[in-house]
């Protein structure tokens, strides 16, 4: 890699591995923008819900792609997702939107639209982009590719503690069951399934703190940049 060139760091991995927390911090440290591609799939899902479109209405979902304008902006390092010009950041983190995103992201038209937007972003800025298919499909030539994972038990424990801290009572076994099901769906879908790119470096965060994962990924990037 060369300093005068744009740098793309692709971070893929299953839900709950800590991708967004880590990607955000790594981007800040390097002075790159952070792109959360899951938020784009969620904004698209919000549009579908608002339009009253159901999970199985393939044609209506595809038609909706022509009307939903999704873009992102950055304010103080925070990614803002705009749906037809409206900041929808505070509306896309619900279970309902997550479930719709999980289903609608399997639609080829939805993926085509958002992948093209993601690729255009990487042509303009150095960035850290996280998702499921960044190293394999969106940015196959990314200078750095990381596959960040953790065991399902550890991911369930983290989510459980997050919910407890918010005062939400829940069953850790149910959470782990949901995580395993979501992994299965993400890894076995027909288009752009979640998988480690051949040239991605595997980072298992199961026994590492956020700080340790961040340092590990920064050292991978810095080593590549020095090459």
Q: How far is the CB of 40 from ligand DC (least distance, A)?
A: 7
Does residue 41 bind ligand DC (CB under 6 A)?
yes
Q: How far is the CB of 190 from ligand DC (least distance, A)?
A: 12
Element (H, E) at 184: helix 172-188
Q: How far is the CB of 220 from ligand DC (least distance, A)?
A: 20
Q: Which residue in the set 24, 113, 132, 214 belongs to the binding site for ligand DC (CB under 6 A)?
A: 132
Q: How many CB atoms lie within 10 A of CB 212?
A: 12
Does residue 148 bind ligand DC (CB under 6 A)?
no
In this chain, which stretch among 33-41, 65-73, 158-166, 203-211 interacts with ligand DC, using CB under 6 A? 33-41
Cα 60 to chain centroid, rounded: 25
Site string for ligand DC, 61-100 (x = CB under 6 A): -------------------------------------x--
Query: Closer CB to ligand DC, residue 59 or residue 95?
Result: 95
Residue 34 backbone class (left: φ over 0; alpha: ψ -120 to 50; beta: rest): beta
Beta strands at 144-149 and 201-204: parallel, antiparallel or unpaired: parallel
Q: Which residue in the set 24, 30, 42, 155 belongs to the binding site for ligand DC (CB under 6 A)?
A: 42
Q: How many CA atoms lie within 13 A of 154 on its CB side?
A: 12
**Residue 79 tokens, joined:** 């990614």
Check residue 200 and report its DSSP letter.
Answer: P
7-18 residues labelled b (16+ CB within 10 A) or e (exposed): bbbbbbbbbbbb
Subset of 94-113 contacting ligand DC (CB under 6 A): 98, 101-102, 105
Does residue 131 bind ligand DC (CB under 6 A)?
yes
Footprint on this chain of ligand DC (rule: CB under 6 A): 15, 37-38, 41-42, 98, 101-102, 105, 131-133, 186
């Amino acid at each position: 890699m060369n300093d005068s060139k744009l740098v793309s760091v692709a971070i893929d991995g299953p839900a709950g591995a800590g991708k967004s927390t880590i990607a955000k911090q790594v981007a800040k440290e390097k002075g790159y923008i952070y792109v959360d591609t899951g938020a784009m799939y969620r904004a698209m899902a919000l549009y579908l819900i608002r339009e009253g479109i159901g999970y199985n209405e393939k044609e209506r979902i595809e038609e909706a792609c022509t009307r939903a304008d999704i873009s992102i902006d950055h304010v103080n390092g925070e990614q803002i997702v705009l749906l037809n010009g409206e900041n929808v950041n505070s509306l896309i983190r619900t279970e309902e939107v997550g479930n719709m995103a999980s289903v609608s992201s399997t639609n080829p038209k939805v993926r085509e639209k958002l992948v093209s937007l993601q690729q255009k972003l990487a042509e303009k800025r150095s960035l850290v982009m996280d998702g499921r298919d960044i190293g394999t499909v969106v940015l196959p030539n990314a200078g750095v590719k990381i596959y960040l994972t953790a065991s399902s038990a550890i991911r369930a424990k983290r989510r459980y503690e997050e919910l407890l801290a918010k005062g939400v009572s829940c069953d850790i076994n149910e959470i782990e069951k949901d995580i395993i099901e979501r992994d299965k769906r993400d890894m076995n879908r027909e288009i752009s399934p979640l998988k480690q790119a051949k040239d991605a470096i595997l980072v298992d965060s199961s026994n590492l703190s956020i700080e340790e994962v961040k340092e590990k990924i920064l050292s991978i990037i810095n080593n590549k940049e020095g090459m």
